[in-house]
């Protein structure tokens, strides 16, 4: 069983440095689960055309991570075989 803990700021950095599909594959979770985690942690996500703009060298807008946030500060992914569970904590 593998356990990976990711802090809110680190998850924000991951979301803006890799496409969601890469994160979904890496952590073996569903798109809807990742989006739920990001929503609960108030982490903005790139617009749909963000990665295409990056690919073609066009300017992009990176949304700031909201500072005034009192919700969940960390997520834990627990892999057990082909299944992955996630827990969020304050």
Instruction: Say what the pLDDT of residue 89 is.
Output: 56
CA 26, 5, 38, 58 torsion-angle sign: negative
What is the radius of gyration, based on Cα positions, of the chain? 14
Number of domains in the chain: 1
- Packing angle, helices 8-17 and 20-27, rounded to 10: 120
Q: In tens digits, what is the pLDDT along the chain, a chain of 90 residues? A: 788 899 999 999 999 999 999 999 988 889 999 999 999 999 999 998 999 999 999 999 999 999 988 888 899 888 766 656 666 555
By residue range, what is the domain housing residue 20? Answer: 2-89
Helices (H), the chain: 8-17, 20-27, 31-40, 50-55
Residue among 14, 66, 20 at smallest CA distance from 42: 66
């Amino acid at each position: 069983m593998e356990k990976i803990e990711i802090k809110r700021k680190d998850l924000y950095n991951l979301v803006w440095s890799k496409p969601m599909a890469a994160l979904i594959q890496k952590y073996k979770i569903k798109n809807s689960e990742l989006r739920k985690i990001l929503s609960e942690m108030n982490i903005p996500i790139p617009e749909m055309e963000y990665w295409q703009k990056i690919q073609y060298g066009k300017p992009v807008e990176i949304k700031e991570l909201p500072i005034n946030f009192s919700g969940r500060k960390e997520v834990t992914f627990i892999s057990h075989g082909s299944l992955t569970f996630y827990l969020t904590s304050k």
